[in-house]
Chains A and B, each alone.
Chain A
């Protein structure tokens, strides 16, 4: 079963625009993580937010977490063509991470 579900499933934007994707989950978590996957490659860790944190920034990335609504959002500001990838949220409970189905982002130059 998938714990996290991303929304939207796909997103197409122009270079320079912001991209926002959301993740909802069902059970209690220790942390929520976001990963990026380029086509045919492994996943790369972007950012981790702990259950007692509400917002975190890393470069052009901003992640929010609302544990009362069991949801998180990932914002990529000033997108670039190189941001074209699939983005996954993963929820952590103990040493086990469960992934959602991902959001496929296309940034058009």
Chain B
């Protein structure tokens, strides 16, 4: 089986544009996570889905960030009116279910550059 896949692998955009980042979790994994990896902040948790529901959105940095998950599978992270400080690698992970003991499997990430 394939691992977690993310697209695009690289995205360059201009300040003020909207971007959509896609994550395909491992088949059968009910939990899905988004993290952001940046030079200044390290790895930050953004949001988590159990099925199609996102119980905790408190990690999203601003209201320009939103995410959805449909069919308990693919997830999209949308950043509106991008700013230069949004430049980072966005990592997606999935696990069989939520909970401390469940290993999170990470995708290769999407490198976002905002000019």
Same complex origin of A and B: no
